[in-house]
Amino acid sequence: MRIHLEENGCQDTRVGDDVGRYHQGRLYVIDVSQSVEYDHPNALEFLRKDCVNVNTYFRRRHGVAVMTGKELFDFITDLSITDDNMDDYLTAAMKTASQRSPDDVSRLEADEEVNCSSQSSSFPSVL
C-alpha cells in the first residue's frame, strides 16, 4: 500500500480478501482497478478503511501479528520513513505488534473505532 501510494500517487479504495493473495509468505496484489489519486476528497478515509481491512484479513485468516490500523496508516503516509530506515522501523513495529495480547488488540481496535467516529480522530484529514 505504501509503495502504491509513493510510486503511483494513488490509493486503492477497496482492499479486501479478493484483492490479493498471500502465498508462501508473500503478498501478491492482483487488483488495483479502484484506485483514486492521493488528492481525492475521500482518499484518506479509503486508506484508513484499507488499513483496517488488511489488518483484519491477516490477523483473522492467517494469525499474523499486525500493526494497528493507525500504525499502518502512519507507516504508509510518514514521509520520514525512507529506504534507509524502513527495515528498522518495521522491525520495531512488528516487535511491538507481536508482544500484544488478544485483549490489547481488541482494546486498541475499539479505541481506534471510537476515534474515527469522533471529531478528534487520531487519523489525519489531509496527506
CA nearest neighbour of 68 among 22, 107, 35, 38: 107
Measured at the CA of 35, the angle between CA 54 and CA 65, to 5 degrees, comes to 10
User: CA–CA separation, 10 vs 83, rounded Å?
Assistant: 20
**18 catalytically annotated:** yes
Which is the catalytic residue, given 12, 17, 18, 74? 18
Q: How many angstroms separate the CA atoms of 19 and 15, rounded?
A: 6
Please report which helix (H) or strand (E) contains residue 35, including its range: strand 35-37
Q: Name the nearest CA neighbour of 58 among 97, 96, 105, 17.
A: 17
Catalytic residues: 18
